[in-house]
Amino acid sequence: MALVSTKEILDKAMRSGYGVGAYNVNNMEQIQAIMLAAKDTQSPVIIQASRGALKYSSFIYLSYLMKAAIIDNPDIPIAMHLDHGNSLQSVIEAINLGFSSVMIDGSLLEDGKTPSTYDYNVKVTREVVDYAHKRNISVEAEIGTLGGVEDGVGSHSGKAKLTDPNEAKRFVCETGVDSLAISIGTSHGAYKFQGESKLAFDVLQDVRSLINIPIVLHGSSSVPKCLVDKVNQYGGKLSGATGVPMESIQKAIQFGVSKINVDTDGRLAMTASIRKFFAEHPEKFDPRDYLSVARADLAKLISYKMKDFKTAGHSND
Ligand code: G3H
Ligand code: 13P
Ligand code: ZN
């Protein structure tokens, strides 16, 4: 079986200087698309489920679909990761479902919205590390707060608090986490920047020089114009949607980011395909017809990302 921890995947990526995408999943077609891309490009992969995704699938369904991907792809290293765990309880639930890796996002309080204090973050992260490490589960934490509140995760104010590099160093020492998400100007969702995209690469470089564990970038979707245009062409309304250009993600990887979180781009790819399908085939109503088109288009998108992040070819590292 190819289930591994994110620590195993990310430590290798950090040493060799490539990025690994962590792709959010909610259903079978998304998981199959990601695995098709991973097989096609020979890439290790992190499939991640948010609390919302687990709830949507009554927990058990999604975890078994992820396990099916592992059985179906014995040659691909796969990590099953909990995205944005909000408490020790949510982490325990994921570990009981068979996840190999968890995130505890103590940058926000348990509501997933209110920015917390440094002390709160250290306390909840340490509890999770103590619990998870005893069971060989790797732990990602977050320091600094991402802007934006799209999709239910992000600070109430919508304002980002960029990571303080010295605080990041202290946090890693005080918690013993395996990887660290930092805030350098990205945000969740399809509306990341008003005007030009700007990331604080200086903060990233400072953090990289002070800590020696993999760095994680949330809110890393590129919101490709071609996908936004396709959604709008077939009746969608996404005006002013923008993301992080791929060149910026590649620069972030060069400067030391190892895990790149992508959810929004996958949503856009599937929505664009399904909208086009219905516009062109109003007579169709079998879910397999439109979901198979959406699955194929998502697989193509993820394959491109695996190549652009330089994950491709590393499944046997
Ligand atoms: O980081 C947030 C992810 O995009 C998950 O979003 O909570 O709507 O599943 P969700
Ligand atoms: P995007 O909204 O940019 O895809 O970010 C997803 C994410 O960070 C999941 O944790
Ligand atoms: Zn996130």
pLDDT, position 247? 98
Question: What is the rounded distance in angstroms from the CA atom of residue 240 to the CA atom of residue 130?
Answer: 43
Q: For residue range 45-73, what is the model confidence (pLDDT) as tens digits?
A: 999 999 999 999 999 999 999 999 999 99
Domain boundary assignment for the chain: 6-308
Closest ligand 2 atom to Cα of 188: 2
Chain-centre distance for alpha carbon 20: 10
pLDDT, position 151? 46
Which residue's CA is the closest to the ligand 1 atom numbered 2?
Answer: 153
Tokens 């077939």 belong to residue:
234
Indicate which ligand has the atom closest to the C-alpha of 81. Answer: 2
Pocket-forming residues, ligand 1, beta carbon under 6 Å: 24, 50, 52-53, 83-84, 151-153, 188, 263
Pocket-forming residues, ligand 2, beta carbon under 6 Å: 24, 83-84, 188-189, 218-221, 261-264
Active-site residue flag, 83: yes
Which CA distances in Å does 171 have to 136, 174, 205, 264, 293?
21, 5, 17, 29, 45
Q: Note residues around ion ligand 3 (Cβ under 5 angstroms).
A: 218
Confidence of residue 280 (pLDDT cuts 50, 70, 90): very high
pLDDT, position 147? 78
For the cut 80, the answer to whether the pLDDT of residue 292 exceeds it is: yes
Share of the chain above pLDDT 90, in %: 94
Closest ligand 1 atom to Cα of 26: 9
What is 6-308's CATH number? 3.20.20.70
Q: For a pocket test of ligand 1, which of 55, 151, 187 has the largest count of ligand atoms closer than 8 A to its C-beta?
A: 151
Please state which of the ranges 10-24, 44-58, 142-156, 222-236 shows the lowest mean pLDDT: 142-156
Q: For residue range 241-250, what is the model confidence (pLDDT) as tens digits?
A: 999 999 999 9
Which residue's CA is the closest to the ligand 1 atom numbered 6?
Answer: 151
Q: For residue range 66-81, what is the model confidence (pLDDT) as tens digits?
A: 999 999 999 999 999 9
pLDDT, position 256? 97
Mean pLDDT of 35-41: 98
Q: For residue range 93-146, what is the model confidence (pLDDT) as tens digits?
A: 999 999 999 999 999 999 999 999 999 999 999 999 999 999 999 999 999 999
What is the CA(84)–ligand 3 centre distance, in A? 6
Residue type, 214: P
Closest ligand 2 atom to Cα of 103: 10
pLDDT, position 160? 83
Q: For residue range 173-182, what is the model confidence (pLDDT) as tens digits?
A: 999 999 999 9
Catalytic residue among 40, 72, 75, 83: 83
Mean per-residue pLDDT over the chain, rounded: 96
What is the CA(27)–ligand 1 centre distance, in A? 14
Q: For residue range 155-175, what is the model confidence (pLDDT) as tens digits?
A: 556 668 999 999 999 999 999
| 8 A C-beta contact, residue 30 and residue 291 | no
What is the CA(75)–ligand 3 centre distance, in A? 28
Mean pLDDT of 146-160: 62
What is the CA(186)–ligand 3 centre distance, in A? 10
pLDDT, position 150? 46
What is the CA(24)–ligand 3 centre distance, in A? 9
Closest ligand 1 atom to Cα of 264: 4
Mean pLDDT of 7-23: 98
Which residue's CA is the closest to the ligand 2 atom numbered 3?
Answer: 219
For the cut 70, the answer to whether the pLDDT of residue 287 exceeds it is: yes
Share of the chain above pLDDT 70, in %: 96
Phi, psi of 139 (to 5 degrees): -125, 130
Question: What is the rounded distance in angstroms from the CA atom of residue 191 to the CA atom of residue 46?
Answer: 24
End-to-end CA distance of the chain: 16
Q: Which pTM was predicted?
A: 0.97
